[in-house]
Chains A and B, each alone.
Chain A
Amino acid sequence: MNQNRSFIVQLQILTKRMLLRVIRRPLAELPNLIISAFFLFVYDGALGGVFGGTASGTPFDFAKGNFINFILPVSIVSASLSGAASGIYLVEDIESGVFKRYQSMPISRWAIILAPMNVGALRVLLQSGLILLIGIIIGADPVVGNIGFLVVLSVAFIWGMGFAGYSVAAGIKSGSSQGAQAATFLFFPAIFLAPTFVPREALKGWLETAAAYNPTTYVIEAMRAVMVDGWELDVLFRGYLAAGLFAALTLTLAVISARKATEKA
């Protein structure tokens, strides 16, 4: 028996255990996935006729002939919210006393906190990947080629980790699942105070201002750049920066909360 297990091995064991928990509750994965797919189909059905292929050459031709390319980023952003499950997983462990059991063992407390975040990251990749797959099946075709899908997934991953950090911080702070779930309430301002249905130039008044301050705007625009417009490096930079800053901020909050949670009272 090697009581001085490395941090990485501890993290692997705890992540595997957390994955088992997720696998045992497959239905818990469905709501966010269904909502994200629902957005894709409903928006395409409702708006694709107006802004889609038939809009070619008109002032509404911002989808450049493929409305799935235009609307897919919205569904991907929605799917990336699945990262918020990290906080819920962690709080479940705190509420059930499993967290305390691990604290009583000579293992890294950071491994206990990071394991649910690892699983949250996997969840973001899986759900975003599935939505991407559905998008491909129904006609998504990035203007920059298939590498565009990788760009979309990578931005979604960073963005999703931002939500993971937020949910972990909120969960630890509140000590309840409800607190962690509060992260999902960010969904509405994140999605709807952004150029979700039309480009930012088409927004007006207060919504245009709100969108300018909403980091989701830049995330969606970066994804749209590779899907619709091509390699617009400044737009891509702003997208990665917005997602990165959001993730850095919330993960810092998570670390601060976690440090307090693991300190002895």
Chain B
Amino acid sequence: MLAVDVKNIKKTFISKQDTVEAVKDVSFQVKQGEIFGLLGPNGAGKSTTILMITTLLSITGGKASVLGIDVATKDKEVRKKIGVALQDTGLDNLLTGKELFFTTCRLWGYSKKDSEVRTNQLLELVGLSEAADRRVKTYSGGMKRRLDLGLSLVHSPEILFLDEPTTGLDPGSRRVLWDEIKRLRDNGVTIILTTQYLEEADELADRIAIIDEGLVVAEGTSDELKAGIGGDVITFVFETNDDLENAKNILKNTVQEKNELRITVEDGASKIPGYIKDLSSNGVEVSSVSASKPTLDDVFLEVTGYRLEGSEDIKKVQEESKR
């Protein structure tokens, strides 16, 4: 059985002033036990999609089911199966971490005794045992995210929805959360996460759907998406705009970004000398040229026509983790 099955869901917000199609047509399937990433910029429709699947927002059109249970008609049943940590779900800052876990355990139906046991388990799991008796308002951003994650795990959900789980976190905290998310997946929890960080999707997600302007524009494993580009990416950098414009006429099928032109070809390194020769014979001066395997960044550029920003700080996490 599929963990999540989303078929052509749509969401339109209608107000007196405006009608906004936040999600135009989104379909994807998530298998049990995998991490599925919804990648896209702010406003792409990722969070709205998650809100619909988690029963917090009505679906304008299409169908979604969680473990075969229809989201629109059996919302209470769906909520029993899922754990949710959304961008805009909050924490009660006046309570301690322990009190928050205990209250949440009680609400999920644990007896007082079992709530105490589960509270201690979860505090341990998310590394907050030492801060258990401190009020949440004293927690750092990373601690709050771990607490948030822990609270979504109280009832041992089969499926976990994480909406931009690491946005705003420092590199160290991000790494801790990534490890935790992987560990949950290894323990059999299906995870659907949204992110606007390419590297986060690359690092965590078994499969990725790229969402742009309310539509799924690409879907597959990271390797499949990169292979879909077909070959290597050669990047030419030009000093002047004239050189760049001339080069566009000489090289075919290029994608421009600022003062760079990119071209995707098979066996890129061997083709560079030929391109350089063509350009110089036409008087075009190339400032630098390089060939590389396509990244998710290139995939995003290819399918959306623009580059996803804000991924730089994630690179710091990866560099730091390599040290």
Question: Which A residues are closer than 8 A to B by beta carbons?
Answer: 1-5, 10, 13-14, 16-17, 20-21, 24-25, 93, 96-98, 100-107, 264-265
Contact indicator B107/A107 (Cβ below 8 Å):
yes
Q: Bound complex: CA of A93 vs CA of B90, how far in Å?
A: 8
Least CB separation from A1: chain B residue? B109
Task: Kindly identify which residue among B58, B84, B109 contacts A3, using a CB–CB cutoff of 8 Å.
Answer: B109
Contact indicator A104/B86 (Cβ below 8 Å):
yes
Residues 92-106 of chain B, each 1 if its beta carbon lies under 8 Å from chain A, else 0: 111100010001001
Contact indicator B94/A104 (Cβ below 8 Å):
no
Interface-located stretch among B49-57, B243-251, B277-285: B49-57
CB neighbours of A20 from chain B (8 A): 94-95, 99
Question: Which B residues are closer than 8 A to A by beta carbons?
Answer: 13, 54-58, 76, 79-80, 82, 84, 86, 88-95, 99, 103, 106-110, 114, 135, 151, 155
A-B contacts at CB below 8 angstroms, number: 80
Task: Kindly identify which residue among B92, B108, B109, B110 contacts A17, using a CB–CB cutoff of 8 Å.
Answer: B92
Task: Kindly identify which residue among B80, B82, B84, B106 contacts A13, using a CB–CB cutoff of 8 Å.
Answer: B106
CB neighbours of B106 from chain A (8 A): 13
A-B contact pairs, 17 of them (CB 8 A): A1-B114, A5-B107, A10-B107, A17-B99, A20-B99, A24-B94, A96-B92, A97-B86, A97-B89, A98-B91, A98-B92, A104-B56, A104-B79, A104-B84, A105-B107, A264-B55, A264-B56
Task: Kindly identify which residue among A1, A96, A103, A105 contacts B91, using a CB–CB cutoff of 8 Å.
Answer: A96
Q: How far is the CB of A26 from chain B (nearest CB, A)?
A: 12
Q: Bound complex: CA of A108 vs CA of B103, how far in Å?
A: 15
Q: Bound complex: CA of A97 vs CA of B99, how far in Å?
A: 17
Q: Bound complex: CA of A16 vs CA of B82, how far in Å?
A: 25
Which of A103, A264, A265 gathers the greatest number of chain B CB atoms within 10 Å? A264
Given contacts A1-B114, A17-B92, A97-B89, contact A103 B56 (CB under 8 A): yes
Q: How far is the CB of B99 from chain A (nearest CB, A)?
A: 7
Q: Bound complex: CA of A4 vs CA of B84, how far in Å?
A: 19
Q: Bound complex: CA of A14 vs CA of B100, how far in Å?
A: 11
Q: Bound complex: CA of A10 vs CA of B103, how far in Å?
A: 10
Least CB separation from A16: chain B residue? B103
Contact indicator B110/A13 (Cβ below 8 Å):
no
Contact indicator A25/B94 (Cβ below 8 Å):
yes
CB neighbours of B88 from chain A (8 A): 97, 100
Q: Bound complex: CA of A144 vs CA of B58, how far in Å?
A: 58
Q: How far is the CB of A246 from chain B (nearest CB, A)?
A: 31
CB neighbours of B54 from chain A (8 A): 104
Contact indicator A13/B107 (Cβ below 8 Å):
yes
Contact indicator B89/A101 (Cβ below 8 Å):
yes
CB neighbours of B89 from chain A (8 A): 97-98, 100-101, 104
Least CB separation from B79: chain A residue? A106
Q: Bound complex: CA of A265 vs CA of B93, how far in Å?
A: 27
Contact indicator B99/A265 (Cβ below 8 Å):
no
A-B pairs, 7 with minimum CB distance: A97-B90, A96-B90, A2-B109, A264-B58, A101-B89, A104-B84, A106-B79
CB neighbours of A1 from chain B (8 A): 108-110, 114, 155
CB neighbours of B94 from chain A (8 A): 20-21, 24-25
CB neighbours of B95 from chain A (8 A): 17, 20-21, 24
